[in-house]
Chain A
Amino acid sequence: MGMTITEKICARAAGKDRVRPGDMIDAEVDKLYIKDLRFSKAEDPKGLYGVFKEVLKDMGITKAWDPEKVIINFDEQPARSTRRLEGQERAKEFSNEHGATLYEGYQGGIGHNVMVEKGHVRPGEFIVGADSHSCTYGALSCFATGIGFTETVGVLATGRIWLKVPPAIYVELAGRRPPWIWGKDIVLRIMAEMGANGAVNKTLEYGGSAVADVSVESRLSMCNMAVESLALNAVFPPDERAIEYVKQVGNTAFTPVASDADAEYESRLRFDLTDMEPFVAAPGVPSNGQPVHEVIGTKINQAFIGTCSNSRIEDLRVAAKILKGKTVHPGVRMIVTPASYGAYFQAREEGLLQIFEKSKVLLTASECGICTRPSLATGEVCISSGNRNFPGRMGNRDARIFLGSPATVAASALAGEIVDPREFLPA
């Protein structure tokens, strides 16, 4: 019996010939991503660096496991709290003392996008990240999952992590992707079909004839949502599109891993994308997905394109295409927060920022932004390209958050209510 991509990468990382779902493994990590907030005192009064130093001292060693494999990013610039600022200072100190790579200023943006754009994500790697959306990287055919504060200290000290090899669900994408359908639509439909409990601690492995027509940006968005279906990880095959992208961001040395033809899956799901309708998740949990016609006409106060889920160049392009020559509805605040300064400058070069400006969109610096920060008043409704619509996610339990693709968000911003973006897409 063969192995899946995830099993192969886990086996290699654990130094074994093969692993099976349910095996507890002790894996060697290829890459560790850490966000600035983890260095703050939010989770432990000593902070990540303080706890790490203490562990090293008690272990009788002075250096981190392999600082070249550690990448740090400032997710909020400028820092808006002394706590965050203090975390950024400790992160710099750590990076200077141990030689980790740190992205800040115009080199940065939202960490997960920076990781991908700066070439830190390679097919076949075993990657963990100190943020729950680290599962995003699976789009480039690696194993990637989010870890907690204590685990991060453990990886820094030993380079290893324990986890259970997940069983895999094979998600076949069939048919032809219509031009109005993006990764967010597809993944919201899949999550709705699986239900809130459908993929807990499992792998979502994408495949099928329609995969070739799903862009890397859309794949990143789909893998980003894996944690929202409580999957351990999600992964796309290392096809031509993925390999081309990885090379384009400067990688040469990597070993792609593909699933065996006789790999074993716990279950198989099939989704035909032909004639698919755009999808929107209703407030509560991201698995509340439904075809957009079910919620058409819902009045909105805020439209947000941002987050590690959907604010990449593909997203900015489609939003600009819809907004061009039109103005956002007077009752709506529309906010665009590019995924990274890479995407921001690219959008500037393509003239997209001028389109946003003329459409009365509020453009912000590249950072996590209002995905977690309060931005909604009581009773308000937001449509967001983000990944979480939990009660209180954007700072107010009595506000409601819908999730949709950047096209749906942009079109709804023009209309002042949730609409089907197909009617707003220029031919």
Chain B
Amino acid sequence: MKKHFKGKVWKFGDCIDSGNIKGVMAGVDPEFHTKVQPGDVIVAGINFGMGSSAEDAPRSLRNAGIAAVLAESISNIYLRTLINLGLPAIECVGVSTFVDEGQEIEVDLESGTVRNLKDGTSRTFPPFSDQAIVILEKGGLIPYLKSSFASPSAGHDKNLPLWRSE
């Protein structure tokens, strides 16, 4: 996972529930898995990932090599799960209207900006905290837990917070 990356956009609409995301967006576009390339990004409308908390849906996006999901709003379970799977999930107001399918965008998690490389316009979102970036860089919550608890030099013990909010 990079903090700063570019990707080709695939666009989806509003209120896509996790049952229809399952199998790499199979409920919306059964052929999507044959079109999407590793490093591509999904841009969607409101309420992305609503419904069931079953993790097969977000895992299918990760396994397809999707680099990030950007949406007007994302269900809370879905948002945390994507990050815990090592995939940036970004709520960004205006993202669904400022870029067209097939165009390329550039995302910077630390500054909280997404730029349309075709016309140079950009949108902003709350920057990711250091801890979120650490979890993403480790490849998700489980690799993060394994590495941080296993290595005493990391300074973690059982009672140390997973997430610091300074």
With beta carbons under 8 angstroms apart, the residue of A60, A160, A230 that contacts B76 is A230
Q: Is the CB of B73 within 8 A of A148?
A: no
B54-111 interface with A by 8 A CB criterion = 54-56, 58-59, 72-81, 84-85
Q: Is the CB of B141 within 8 A of A151?
A: yes
Q: Is the CB of B53 within 8 A of A146?
A: yes
List 20 additional contacts besides A132-B52, A154-B142, A201-B73; criterion CB under 8 Å.
Answer: A26-B163, A43-B54, A59-B149, A59-B150, A146-B77, A147-B53, A147-B77, A148-B55, A150-B85, A153-B142, A154-B145, A160-B162, A162-B162, A164-B76, A197-B72, A200-B74, A227-B50, A227-B75, A230-B73, A388-B51
Determine if A285 is an interface residue (Cβ-Cβ < 8 Å).
Answer: yes
Residues of A within 8 A of B15 (CB): 196, 284-285
By a beta-carbon cutoff of 8 Å, the part of chain A in contact with chain B is 23-26, 37, 42-44, 51, 54-55, 58-61, 65, 130-132, 145-151, 153-154, 157-158, 160-164, 196-197, 200-201, 227-228, 230, 232, 284-285, 388, 390-393, 397
Write the nearest CB–CB distance from A406 to chain B, whole angstroms. Answer: 22
Residues of B within 8 A of A392 (CB): 19-20, 27
With beta carbons under 8 angstroms apart, the residue of B20, B79, B161 that contacts A26 is B161
* Cα distance, A196 to B53, chains bound together (Å): 18
Determine if B140 is an interface residue (Cβ-Cβ < 8 Å).
Answer: yes
* Cα distance, A153 to B81, chains bound together (Å): 12
Residues of A within 8 A of B141 (CB): 150-151, 153-154
Residues of B within 8 A of A149 (CB): 53-55, 81
* Cα distance, A151 to B77, chains bound together (Å): 9
Given A148-B53, A162-B163, A163-B76; A196-B149 close (CB under 8 Å)? no
What is the chain A residue whose CB lies nearest that of B53? A132
Write the nearest CB–CB distance from B81 to chain A, whole angstroms. Answer: 4
Residues of A within 8 A of B77 (CB): 132, 145-148, 227
Given A24-B165, A149-B55, A154-B162; A163-B145 close (CB under 8 Å)? no
What are 12 of the A-B contact pairs (CB < 8 Å)?
Answer: A26-B163, A59-B149, A65-B158, A132-B52, A132-B53, A147-B77, A150-B85, A150-B141, A200-B76, A230-B47, A230-B50, A390-B51
Q: Give the residue among A37, A65, A200, A393 with the most B Cβ atoms within 10 A.
A: A200
Q: Is the CB of B164 within 8 A of A55?
A: no
Determine if B40 is an interface residue (Cβ-Cβ < 8 Å).
Answer: no
By a beta-carbon cutoff of 8 Å, the part of chain B in contact with chain A is 14-15, 17, 19-20, 27, 46-47, 50-56, 58-59, 72-81, 84-85, 129, 131-132, 140-142, 145-146, 149-150, 158, 161-165
Given A132-B77, A162-B163, A230-B50; A24-B131 close (CB under 8 Å)? yes
What is the chain B residue whose CB lies nearest that of A285? B15
Residues of A within 8 A of B80 (CB): 147-148, 151, 162-163
Q: Is the CB of A196 within 8 A of B46?
A: yes
With beta carbons under 8 angstroms apart, the residue of B51, B132, B146, B149 that contacts A132 is B51
10 A-B pairs with the lowest CB-CB distances in the bound complex, closest first: A162-B163, A26-B161, A148-B81, A59-B149, A149-B55, A58-B146, A132-B53, A43-B55, A24-B165, A197-B46
* Cα distance, A60 to B158, chains bound together (Å): 11
Residues of B within 8 A of A228 (CB): 50
Residues of B within 8 A of A132 (CB): 51-53, 77
* Cα distance, A345 to B163, chains bound together (Å): 45
* Cα distance, A131 to B52, chains bound together (Å): 7
Write the nearest CB–CB distance from A165 to chain B, whole angstroms. Answer: 9
Q: Is the CB of B145 within 8 A of A59?
A: yes
* Cα distance, A163 to B129, chains bound together (Å): 12
Residues of B within 8 A of A43 (CB): 54-56, 59
Residues of A within 8 A of B78 (CB): 148
Residues of A within 8 A of B132 (CB): 24
